[in-house]
Amino acid sequence: MVSERGLEVLRAIVQDYVATREPVGSKSIVDRHSFGVSAATIRNDMALLEDEELIVAPHTSSGRVPTDKGFRVFVNHLAELRPLTAAQRSAISAFLADPADLDDLLARTVRALTQLTGQVALVQYPSFERANVTHVELVHLGGTRIVAILVTDTGRVSQRVAVLPDELDETDVAALRARVSVLVTGRSVREGVTVVEQAVAALRADGPRGDRAVRAALRVVAEELEEFRQDRLVMAGAANLARSEGDFRGSIFPLLEAIEEQVTLLRLMGEMVADEQGLAASIGRENEPFGLAEASVVTSDYETGVGAARMGVLGPVRMDYPSNLGAVRAVARYLSRLLDEDERAR
């Protein structure tokens, strides 16, 4: 059983190790922290922490470093979230102001978060499958080409070029627009996918000219609706992994692969259990099922018009959890507020 002072010693070891990257000894704890006891007493406390597998000696006769279990105890019981400074808050507010659209806002968000934390920043796109399609537009580019534009009640806009099997004039495009629009406008993205798939299946590729055009246009609309449903991440700061490569015992390749593929990180973030503040941390070996046993991820929920999504940072186990958790929470709140203001404005 670890005493209260023993837990404070653990706090000191974590803080000093994160700050210096060096094993922490009893003498340095006495010198840097006001425990009011001798180095011998601190050594006894450290021995108990080692028995509990909260710290370990990386080398013979060296100081001690926190284990993954030690970092977990620190995050759960000892870490005090470090709030952003007034200057940092002002910078974030200015940086995120007046985005062009959701894509721009999320791109700015990850850039701000990686600058604040020095880690890889991750923001999950909201899932728009419950959003409603409010407008479908088909713009004729000439010949057989059109642009299909979809707008949802969440403000999401997408567009994609479609190549039709036959050349159309403006009258043909107007008729095509009417047939496509009536199928999906006013429906949720989820319903729209089903209706469009059924309509495409009912139309023959070698059918009448108008049916062929509708079929080709609907296939593009279906691709855009599926895009609305896909889980995906916006990321920034992958170069920070190379800068902290010394904190990884093995290769950083699994982390780079996870960043590139996204699926692993989406699964991991989706399974993390948040506390009452919407914060979560997954530390070191807890990530072994995802092939990321040498990394930690901290996240915060943020609110969107279609439900909650997650954002966070990925980095080595030796990270500044109080600062990173505080930064993630603060940026998530800014993002939630901006999305809420945007929804109210509509």
Rounded Cα gap, residues 113 and 327, in angstroms: 7
pLDDT value, residue 306: 67
Residue 36 has pLDDT above 70, yes or no: yes
Rounded Cα gap, residues 343 and 60, in angstroms: 59
Could you tell me where the DSSP H helices lie in the chain?
4-20, 26-32, 39-51, 68-73, 86-96, 102-117, 170-184, 189-202, 209-229, 239-243, 253-261, 263-271, 321-345
Residue 346 has pLDDT above 70, yes or no: no
* Span of 44-53, 89-98, 220-229, 276-285 with lowest mean pLDDT: 220-229
Question: Tokens at residue 197, please?
Answer: 């798939």
Buried/exposed 179-202: b ≥16 CB within 10 Å, e otherwise? bbbebbeebbbbbbbebbeebbee
Q: Report how far apart, in Å, the C-alpha atoms of 230 and of each of 18, 73, 105, 264, 273 are.
A: 37, 35, 18, 14, 22
Could you tell me where the DSSP H helices lie in 244-290?
253-261, 263-271
pLDDT tens-digit profile of 148-199? 999 988 777 888 998 999 898 888 889 989 999 999 999 998 899 899 999 9
Cβ contacts of residue 100 below 8 Å, gap of 6+?
none
Q: 113: closest CA among 125, 271, 57, 105?
A: 105
Q: Report how far apart, in Å, the C-alpha atoms of 197 and of each of 43, 176, 219, 243, 295 are.
A: 69, 17, 8, 48, 41
More confident residue, 50 or 224: 50
Written as one string, the DSSP assignment of 192-220 is: HHHHHHHHHHHS-TTS-HHHHHHHHHHHH
Cβ contacts of residue 333 below 8 Å, gap of 6+?
302
pLDDT-derived band at 231, boundaries 50, 70, 90 = confident
* CA-angle at 331, arms to 330 and 332, nearest 5°: 90
The answer to whether residues 140 and 168 touch, using CB atoms and an 8 Å cutoff, is: yes
pLDDT value, residue 28: 93
For the chain, domains (ranges, CATH) are 4-78 (1.10.10.10), 86-126+232-345 (3.30.450.40), 133-229 (3.30.390.60)
The answer to whether residues 262 and 233 touch, using CB atoms and an 8 Å cutoff, is: yes
pLDDT-derived band at 14, boundaries 50, 70, 90 = very high
The radius of gyration computed from the CA coordinates of the chain, to the nearest angstrom, equals 26
Rounded Cα gap, residues 199 and 75, in angstroms: 53
Q: Report how far apart, in Å, the C-alpha atoms of 269 and of each of 79, 300, 310 are.
A: 21, 10, 7
pLDDT value, residue 131: 83
For the full predicted model, state whether its pTM sits above 0.85. Answer: no
Which DSSP symbol is given to 293? T
Range 203-225 average pLDDT: 87
Question: Tokens at residue 309, please?
Answer: 């999504």
